[in-house]
Amino acid sequence: MTAVDARAVSPASAAPIDPRRAWQVVLQHIEADLLAGRLVPGDHLPAERTLASELGVGRSSVREALRVLEVLGLIRTQTGSGPQSGAIIVARPSGGMSSLMRLQVAAQGFDVRDVVKTRLVLEAAVVTELAEASGARVDGLDLGPAVELLDAMDADGRVSEAEFLALDAAFHLALAELSGNAVIASMMAGLRNSIESYVLAGVPNLPSWAETSGRLRHEHRSIVDAIETGDAELARGRVRAHITGYYTETNFISAPADPLTR
């Protein structure tokens, strides 16, 4: 983190921006422009220097945000000069129900236990649909978009805790989108900010981020493996253990909150 990031302030309020979250300010600014239609596929994003100046953050925070946006498939970046250089919008976030859910989260907020219970219900349904679809196909199911996010999370030393957890949330959303259930995918998209904020808030409670992140990587791959083999029951068990395990480890919940096992 640069010295500029450490002194970052919001130009609108002059209130200090937590340097650990400065990249998220950039991410949310660009996402808001996409949702509002001020940016559309094919548009170029302003230069790093311009975004940093407008938002009162360091250029390294802008680069972090752009890297996440690229992994999420919203932008494409290319070095050099010419009309195809720089950061170009190639997709937009899903709207509709997910936007309404995000407004509800922002206006009211949800208790962490409710978020966990909802994730367990939704994601158990997601992996069940994916595993059944994979088992029904001779050539299996293409989970490429989700696996690409896991590959990005494996970049040891180049992914911060916040970026890792943003990619983590994106992975779970990618599975929901791949399931083909538009309602569940929209609900997951709407809850994404809430999920990210809770998992990030739990990091200081972890005994070892290195050990936890390694375990999360392994659990993600094991969920994908269960889906690819068409074992819906195993996939459900793994995704439930994965979700409750992290929240329990960070002391947000004291016992598994799986409503399907009560």
Look at the alpha carbons of 66, 72, 76, 78 in this order and tell me if their dihedral is positive or negative: positive
Residues 102 and 231 in one domain: yes
Asked if 100 and 67 sit in the same domain, the reply is: no
Give the end of a domain, one of 91, 123, 151: 91
Please, are residues 189 and 101 in contact by the beta-carbon 8 Å criterion?
yes
Separation of alpha carbons 150 and 168, rounded Å = 8
Crossing angle for the helix pair 112-136 and 209-228, nearest 10 degrees?
40
Last residue of a domain, one of 42, 69, 91: 91
User: 140 and 36, same structural domain?
Assistant: no
Indicate whether 73 and 132 sit together in one domain. no
Residues 82 and 114 both lie in one domain: no
> Based on the domain organization, do 112 and 75 belong to the same domain?
no
Is the same domain home to 182 and 221?
yes
Return the amino acid letter for 146.
A
Residues 7 and 117 in one domain: no
What is the pLDDT tens value at each position of the chain, 262 positions in all? 333 343 344 444 445 555 557 888 888 888 888 877 888 888 899 999 999 999 999 898 898 888 877 766 678 887 766 566 688 887 666 554 455 445 445 445 577 888 889 999 999 999 999 999 998 886 778 899 999 999 998 876 677 888 898 889 889 999 999 998 888 888 888 777 778 778 888 889 999 999 999 999 999 999 999 999 999 999 999 999 999 999 999 887 765 555 444 4
Q: Is 60 strand, coil or helix?
A: helix
